[in-house]
């Protein structure tokens, strides 16, 4: 789409509490908003988000800033022509374009989510002290979550097992599904060591293990997937794999139980749909997760995910419960309740705005 006035608004989002991962602790993260005005359609506005996770996103903040400047100068939104080397930038252009085409009301995928139907999500337990992790788990259970996801791989392994055991004491197997995410933190030169750890973790009745070893070790991951007592989900493994043949080879060799889709890290919804189609060839399931977007990006992903799972009688909980992580998120009608994410349209209407958002903190 051409003939646009495109403005880039940069914003730093701050975590309410330090977010611990196997790659370190985050206290803030950058986001860039692509604000596109159609000069021929009454100034209609579309907004997309470029969300970056330091140390994980292929783009650095300076590189993303440079690519977004080029996008603004072009006056056009054509995501398919953009390089997948900059997936978050491409995702921003794609979501801004879809938003613009749907008249800028943040209803990117008119469907179940925007009609008030909730999307099941997992609750996220961040790394911390054993006491804090158990407190997080209890809080999530009190809020109605029945699927929890816990980060592992950064603490002493025995300590992590003690944490999981303590969490299981308040989240029993017959009531709560527990996912683990290692972010490559269980990697060892000898894959047998990784498998011994996974054997021990399996005793806690684990639904899945995301990315047990670092990406790029296809044969090693193939072996672990084949031998692990815990179903393995690929996450970081998908980042940077752009060619269809390579994607197919990756999935057919490794044969994961699941793939995890972060649209900001793989290049948007077109690419996510492509991964879903390829995963079906090896009977791998999937769910979407946030790349710590603000509510702008989270809303887009939630609508797409809801549309994608609409025909599934037993959809897997999505990893989209991140809207409350920041002290300075964009106000929105997204609501987390009872272990689901939904859009509260009465709230949006009460705002008395054409948009379903309060965009005063974004629009220049």
Say if CB 155 and CB 127 are below 8 A apart.
yes
Say if CB 33 and CB 47 are below 8 A apart.
yes
Within 10 A of 236 (CB to CB), how many other CB atoms are there? 19
Give Rg (Cα) of the chain: 20
Q: Which of 149, 197, 220, 262 is catalytic?
A: 262
* Residue 217 CB partners (closer than 8 Å, separation 6+): 187
d(CA 148, CA 181): 11
Residue 63, CB-side half-sphere exposure with 13 Å CA sphere: 14
**Residue 148: both structure tokens together:** 């929890």
User: Among this protein's residues, is 151 annotated catalytic?
Assistant: yes
Q: Which of 29, 149, 151, 220 is catalytic?
A: 151
SS3 (DSSP) at 2: coil
d(CA 153, CA 148): 17
Comparing CA positions, the residue from 291, 225, 272 lying closest to residue 253 is 225
Q: Count the helix, strand and coil residues of the chain and give each as a percent rounded to the nearest 5.
A: 35, 25, 40
Q: Are strands 258-261 and 232-234 parallel, antiparallel or unpaired?
A: parallel
Phi, psi of 275 (to 5 degrees): -60, -40
User: Among this protein's residues, is 262 annotated catalytic?
Assistant: yes
Q: Which residues are catalytic?
A: 151, 262
């Amino acid at each position: 789409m051409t003939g646009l006035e495109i403005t880039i608004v940069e914003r730093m989002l701050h975590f309410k509490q330090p977010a611990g991962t196997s790659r370190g602790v985050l206290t803030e993260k950058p986001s860039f908003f692509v604000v596109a005005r159609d000069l021929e359609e009454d100034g209609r506005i579309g907004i997309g988000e470029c969300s970056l996770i330091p140390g994980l996103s292929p783009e650095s903040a300076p590189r993303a800033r440079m690519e977004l400047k080029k996008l603004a100068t072009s006056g056009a939104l054509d995501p398919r022509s953009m390089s997948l080397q900059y997936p978050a930038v491409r995702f921003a252009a794609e979501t801004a374009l879809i938003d613009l085409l749907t008249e800028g009301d943040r209803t990117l995928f008119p469907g179940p989510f925007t009609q008030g139907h909730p999307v099941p999500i997992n609750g996220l337990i961040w790394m911390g002290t054993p006491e804090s992790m158990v407190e997080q788990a209890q809080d999530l259970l009190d809020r109605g979550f029945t699927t929890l996801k816990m980060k592992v791989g950064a603490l002493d392994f025995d300590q992590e097992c003690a944490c999981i055991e303590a969490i299981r004491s308040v989240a029993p197997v017959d009531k709560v599904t527990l996912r683990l995410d290692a972010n490559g933190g269980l990697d060892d030169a000898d894959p047998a060591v990784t498998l011994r750890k996974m054997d021990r973790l399996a005793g806690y009745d684990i639904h899945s293990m995301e990315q047990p070893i670092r990406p790029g070790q296809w044969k090693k991951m193939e072996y672990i997937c084949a031998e692990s007592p815990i179903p393995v989900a690929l996450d970081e493994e998908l980042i940077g794999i752009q060619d269809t043949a390579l994607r197919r080879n990756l999935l057919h060799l490794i044969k994961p139980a699941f793939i995890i889709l972060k649209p900001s890290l793989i290049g948007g919804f077109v690419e996510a749909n492509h991964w879903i189609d390829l995963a079906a060839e090896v009977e791998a399931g999937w769910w979407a997760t946030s790349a710590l977007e603000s509510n702008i990006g989270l809303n887009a992903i939630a609508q797409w995910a809801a549309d994608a799972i609409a025909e599934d009688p037993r959809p897997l909980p999505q990893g989209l419960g991140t809207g409350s992580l920041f002290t300075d998120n964009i106000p929105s009608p997204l609501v987390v309740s009872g272990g689901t994410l939904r859009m509260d349209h009465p709230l949006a209407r009460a705002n008395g705005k054409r948009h379903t958002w309060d965009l005063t903190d974004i629009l220049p």
